[in-house]
Amino acid sequence: MGGLLPSAGFDIIAARVLAASFLVVMMLSLGFEVAALPRKDKRAKRHERRLLVRALILNLVLLPLITFAIVRALHASGAVAVAVLLAAATPGGRYAPRLANIARAELGLAVEITLFLAKLTAFTSPVTMKWLTGARHLDVHDLKLIGQLLVLQMLPYLLGRFAGRKRPVLVASLVRPFVIAEAVLGVAFFALLVATGTLSELRAFGPVGWAAATLFAVISLALGWTLGGADAAVRRAFAVTAVARNLGLGLVIAGELLHDRGIQLSLFGIWLICLVVDAAFAAAVRGQRRPQPATTLP
């Protein structure tokens, strides 16, 4: 993953290792947790698939288009504006199922949405980001990136799920350490960006980009809630997953396609905005009565 930081060789190597490790550990941990979930009957799966298609259209098509319109309407530019587009192109935040559980949402649906986004975004995110930034055609470099993301995202997830089903007791003991390792790697990457002086660059980006980032989070939440339908638990699942963003995937794509450490640091800020909005929503609706209990994931 070349070009993550335009600085000394050590910084570039460290950023490559941290970004790749963060994504791998995140997906491996997700595979562990999925393997431990119970299976559902076919009738429940068919019902969930219809909702899943709607959620995928929302996350992979509607939100990127709306975000592009927001950025253009506000005349936003610079690293923050590009990072907002990148956030829109990388749905599937790792924390979505946990917040869905807090929000008393349809947990099985929230996990299914997160899983399918994890499977699809290795293919869709580079293409979406190229389109949003004005490049209409893929080249060999883009195809290499897609292959790279398959190795860093899909392969660890499949290995984690396979290990979880073959060695459930061992894997159950590894879930918490891997979640902690994921958090440590994310903080380490942030610290590396700050240590190279990127934090000072954010002062020059202006408020318009951050306004676009906040508007993106709020509109994602509102649109997810609206498209969730009449069932309150489903609406909560749609809303929570619409706001959640895949930080690890975004960092890798930013390094490979955009070569700008300011975009990477901005992406951290946007991810935090989305997390705060999502957590506040989950806490706000938690006390409200839900018409039916959450289902579990296969």
Answer for the pair 135, 258: CB distance below 8 angstroms, yes or no.
no
Q: Does 213 reside within a domain?
A: yes
pLDDT 10s digits, 76-95:
888 888 999 999 999 998 88
Q: Does 1 reside within a domain?
A: no
Rounded-to-integer distance, Cα 224 and Cα 209, Å: 22
Helices marked H in the chain — which ranges?
9-35, 42-57, 63-74, 78-89, 96-102, 107-132, 140-149, 155-166, 168-195, 198-201, 207-227, 232-243, 247-253, 261-286
* DSSP code, position 106: -
Q: Does 236 reside within a domain?
A: yes
State the average pLDDT over residues 39-43. Answer: 61
The crossing angle, in degrees rounded to 10, of helices 63-74 and 107-132 is: 50
Q: Does 295 reside within a domain?
A: no
Count of the separate structural domains present in the chain:
1
31 vs 96, 114, 117, 199, CA distance in Å?
15, 12, 13, 34
Q: And the tokens for 293?
A: 């209990």
Q: Does 13 reside within a domain?
A: yes
Residue whose pair of structure tokens reads 């003991």 in the numeric block: 173
Q: Does 169 reside within a domain?
A: yes
What is the extent of the structural domain holding 267?
A: 9-286
* DSSP code, position 245: B
The amino acid that residue 34 corresponds to is V
pLDDT 10s digits, 254-298:
887 777 777 888 888 899 999 999 999 999 998 775 544 444 444
The CATH number of residue 164's host domain is: 1.20.1530.20
**Torsion of the alpha carbons at 187, 60, 122 and 73, rounded to the nearest 10:** -60
State the average pLDDT over residues 113-140. Answer: 83
Q: Does 294 reside within a domain?
A: no
Please tell me the pTM assigned to this model. Answer: 0.82
Q: Can you spell out the DSSP letters for 70-89?
A: HHHHHT--HHHHHHHHHHHH
Q: Does 66 reside within a domain?
A: yes
Rounded-to-integer distance, Cα 76 and Cα 239, Å: 25
Residue 107 has pLDDT above 80, yes or no: yes
